[in-house]
Structure 1
Amino acid sequence: MEITDHSDIIVDDPLPRGTLRDTDWAHHVSCNSSRCEWAGLFPTLRVAEDAANTHLHRRRREQDTYHVGSCGAHCTELRADRARDQRSTHHVYMGSVGPQEPLSFDSESWRPWYPRSTDAVDELVQRGDRIKLPGDREGKVARVTETRSCGIATWSVAYADPGTDLTRDDWQSKFQNELVARDGEVFCRYGEEFLGPPVFEVVGEADHQADLAEFAGGSA
């Protein structure tokens, strides 16, 4: 899916995760205000900027308490296999009607490109898998969680030491965050135009206790 015209614009609160995964070309903008999940996909940077200011103007006019004080927005340029982002160059301060200093994005202020997922991390690694990490370390996967980072779909993997009994409550979580999947491997999304080494490798299944909590209807 490509957002190339005004008729293609999609706005939601929040945008469905599947919509983000399926978008190959767009400018994604989201509100940074506390507890606000408003976001949209737009054809150009200027249209995205106008939409962010209109959103903020309306919320402040409605005296939404989460849109007073310092407010900002975040914009991400999406391409099929990569993305780059920037934050608004102005923050809007207290006012009864709307932006006194409109939010703005700069076409020269993009951060470096980073990779997007072409696969789903939770299809490559699941609870109970044994993973090999850098430095010849191993871990046991406890859960794989869907997350969002800078307008793209990402995942977080929680894991523990290989001998950990995940059915207990006293084990210490470790995490790999902001993950994307490409060609059957898992990477961090902040790669600056290139993919570094995979963050881990799935090397088998851990012992049977990894799934006992789910079988019993509980969770680790």
Structure 2
Amino acid sequence: MNECNPKAIPCDLSVNKLISSDSKELANPKLYREIVGSLIYIMTGTRPDLSYVVTKLSQYMSNPTVAHLSLARHVLKYLNGTLHYCLTFKKSDDPLCLVGYCDSDWGASEERRSNTGYCFKLYEGGPLISWKTKKQKVVSLSTYEAEYVVITNAMQEGNFFRQLYADMINCNGETIILNVDNKVAIALAKNPVHHQRSKHIDIKNHFLRSQIESKIVDLVYVPSN
């Protein structure tokens, strides 16, 4: 793959359609597993931009198809053109503040479960210190519900970093700024009233409301673009 033509984005835009296509199963999945295993190592260490596609590819390790191998090669082509990409850590001139971003797609997988994605950094212009993409365990009935679940997942990670940061500088912990692109999900999290449309949401997700009331997190709307 050293001489391959580089790609501009980590995965094909029609990744869900390609994955679900009726493609021939690989006779020997060893190569596919080696590629995905290497990509997992790279993504975990220094390349958060691969998080989404690696999550997709790693779900088909047992019975990969020719289409899955083609998608894995697409990632290698992307890496070939972005070898200079890196995380750069430097001293901040601004006060440190835990800033997070979270988002989800709605029902993009074959079984219609949404994907959770979030990341955190220690100041607005700083590098990422944590990132994750994973498939949600529940089937969300609406876009705002999928977003509500991803906010909850992000807050569990944010609470860990908030406590770690507080222990380091010996303070009570600063408020987490969490950027979300769904106004309905923000309103549901801030409003303690139990709505008819949302009462089916698992109770564990409603811990988010107590986090907001305690001023541990501040949900901020950020447009999708």
Q: TM-score, normalised by structure 1?
A: 0.27
Q: TM-score, normalised by structure 2?
A: 0.26
Query: Which is richer in helix?
Result: 2
